[in-house]
């Protein structure tokens, strides 16, 4: 029942809103079905070619040495009071220095920031987090626990639990989505924002609906809406999909990039081969459509957007459009020979660009 004095929307408007919602969810579930059919055909093809190898799944019992490399920092844990979840992170640099908080993407974990942990610990307390559901961080069982407002609150609570009230916030891929939203919701906590290969969320949601090519590249958003089947597909052929994402010519780190070593690959396989390790990460995507459309909020702090032009999942046109949502100093750098995995692909260049941005902003403030 409407409140006294409130105006009810005209019937035509209500019908239009309902029709748009119906079309939106029809698109979501139709594309989800298409992705499921394609995945099913790939499964049958794999069974036909190598039936003995298709269902091989090796759980790595022991972590490779690189995950305990002391040059990367110290493994730490913090329990958040409100949610009760325990988060794992790796920290480098002295306590008390300005905080640099790093948020990884999918399918990654804290280790994707290994080059930045070594680089910035001289002047920052660098913290590379395992997001909710990833790695050694707790993974709530229900997908409702992975809504965007929960993920945003995690970063705020972790910041406070670490004894800080502000930080330099850096995010890649899905971690970039979270970083944008934290900067929007808690601008007082973010002194500088750095995002790698993810546009402003409003740009992404508008662009994907208007450009079929990006819709296809983002097909995994729809595929992950199904329960258990996406996790199952990732385990086939001993996580062939996971390996291919980082090493194939189409999606992996390029020829001129810093290729992952065999030990690096084993680090990823160690984390994601554990039973249930993929459900939490995929649950991040299983609530995204209920959160749309995202509001057109602006970012008010200095922002650096870094982009690998050879990104197989994100079209570079979104990077330039992002500029209109940043109401402060905005720097965009596109690296022509770099892939989606930019901070691992071109770590020396990325680190130099971040240093330049941080020093540039410090100099600007002094002037």
- Indicate if the alpha-carbon torsion angle 314, 151, 200, 194 is positive or negative: negative
Q: Give residue 331's pLDDT.
A: 97
Q: Give residue 279's pLDDT.
A: 98
Q: How far apart are CA 361 and CA 124, in angstroms?
A: 15
Q: At a CB cut-off of 8 Å and minimum separation 6, what does 221 contact?
A: 285, 288
pLDDT tens across 37-88, in order? 888 888 888 888 888 789 999 999 999 999 999 999 999 999 998 899 999 9
β-strand 167-172 against 190-196: which pairing, if any? parallel
9, pLDDT greater than 90: no
Residues 162 and 198 occupy one common structural domain: yes
Angle, helices 229-247/11-49, rounded to nearest 10 degrees: 70
Q: Give residue 363's pLDDT.
A: 62
* 3 state SS of 94: coil
Total domain count, the chain = 2
Residue 146 appears among annotated catalytic residues: no
Mean of pLDDT values over 150-169: 97
122, pLDDT greater than 50: yes
1, pLDDT greater than 50: no
Q: Give residue 96's pLDDT.
A: 94
Q: Give residue 3's pLDDT.
A: 43
Structural domain contains residue 238: no
Residue at token pair 């407002």: 149
pLDDT tens across 12-35, in order? 777 776 676 666 667 777 878 888
Residues 48 and 87 occupy one common structural domain: no
Residues 275 and 128 occupy one common structural domain: yes
Residues 329 and 202 occupy one common structural domain: yes
Residue 311 appears among annotated catalytic residues: no
DSSP letter at 307 equals E
The active-site residue out of 138, 173, 264, 345 is: 173
Residues 26 and 143 occupy one common structural domain: no
Residues 134 and 261 occupy one common structural domain: yes
CB 101 within 8 A of CB 149: no
- The tokens describing 220, both together, are 């995994």
The neighbouring-strand residues paired with 335 are 308
pLDDT tens across 196-244, in order? 999 999 999 899 889 989 988 998 998 999 999 999 999 999 999 999 9
Residue at token pair 């790595």: 60
Domain boundaries, position 87: 65-209+256-359
Confidence tier at 274 by pLDDT (50, 70, 90): very high
158, pLDDT greater than 90: yes
Q: Give residue 62's pLDDT.
A: 97
Residue 294: HSE in the Cβ half-sphere, 13 Å Cα cutoff: 25
Q: Which of 13-27, 107-121, 287-301, 341-355 has the lowest mean pLDDT?
A: 13-27
- Averaged confidence pLDDT in the chain: 91
Residue 293, preceding peptide bond in cis (omega within 30° of 0): yes
- The tokens describing 142, both together, are 């229900």
Residues 190 and 292 occupy one common structural domain: yes
Residues 268 and 158 occupy one common structural domain: yes
Give the pTM: 0.91
Structural domain contains residue 227: no
Structural domain contains residue 230: no
The residue out of 5, 27, 55 marking a domain boundary is 55
The active-site residue out of 31, 325, 340, 345 is: 340
Percent of the chain at pLDDT > 90 equals 74
Residues 84 and 49 occupy one common structural domain: no
Structural domain contains residue 163: yes
Residues in the chain: 367
Percent of the chain at pLDDT > 70 equals 92
Structural domain contains residue 350: yes
Q: Give residue 6's pLDDT.
A: 45
Structural domain contains residue 177: yes
Mean of pLDDT values over 337-364: 91
Q: Give residue 365's pLDDT.
A: 58
The active-site residue out of 89, 146, 207, 285 is: 285
Q: Give residue 20's pLDDT.
A: 67
More confident residue, 7 or 49: 49
Residue 285 appears among annotated catalytic residues: yes
């Amino acid at each position: 029942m409407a409140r006294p004095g409130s105006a009810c929307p005209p019937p035509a408007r209500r019908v239009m809103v309902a029709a748009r919602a119906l079309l939106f969810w029809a698109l979501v579930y139709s594309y989800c079905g298409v992705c499921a059919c394609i995945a099913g055909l790939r499964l049958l093809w794999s069974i036909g070619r190598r039936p003995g190898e298709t269902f091989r799944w090796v759980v790595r019992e022991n972590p490779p040495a690189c995950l305990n490399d002391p040059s990367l920092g110290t493994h730490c844990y913090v329990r958040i009071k409100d949610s009760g979840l325990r988060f794992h992170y790796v920290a480098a640099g002295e306590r008390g220095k300005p905080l640099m908080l790093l948020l990884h993407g999918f399918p990654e974990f804290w280790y994707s920031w290994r080059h930045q942990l070594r680089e910035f610990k001289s002047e920052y307390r660098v913290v590379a987090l395992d997001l909710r559901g990833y790695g050694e961080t707790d993974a709530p069982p229900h997908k409702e626990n992975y809504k965007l407002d929960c993920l945003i609150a995690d970063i705020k609570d972790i910041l406070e639990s670490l004894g800080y009230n502000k930080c330099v916030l850096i995010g890649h891929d899905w971690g970039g989505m979270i970083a944008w939203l934290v900067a929007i919701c808690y601008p007082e906590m973010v002194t500088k924002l750095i995002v790698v290969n993810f546009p402003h969320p409003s740009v992404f949601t508008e662009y994907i609906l208007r450009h079929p090519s990006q819709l296809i590249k983002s097909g995994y958003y729809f595929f992950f809406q199904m329960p258990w089947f996406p996790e199952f597909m990732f385990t086939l052929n001993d996580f062939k999909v996971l390996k291919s994402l980082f090493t194939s010519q189409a999606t992996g780190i390029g020829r001129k990039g810093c290729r992952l070593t065999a030990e690096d690959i084993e680090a990823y396989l160690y984390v994601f081969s554990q039973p249930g390790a993929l459900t939490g990460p995929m649950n991040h995507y299983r609530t995204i459509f209920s959160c749309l459309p995202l509001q057109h909020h602006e970012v008010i702090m200095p922002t650096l957007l870094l982009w690998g032009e050879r990104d197989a999942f994100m079209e570079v046109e979104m990077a330039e459009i992002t500029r209109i949502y940043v109401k402060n100093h905005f720097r965009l750098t596109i690296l022509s020979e770099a892939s989606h995995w930019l901070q691992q692909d071109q770590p020396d260049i990325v680190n130099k660009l971040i240093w330049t941005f941080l020093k540039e902003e410090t100099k600007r403030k002094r002037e």
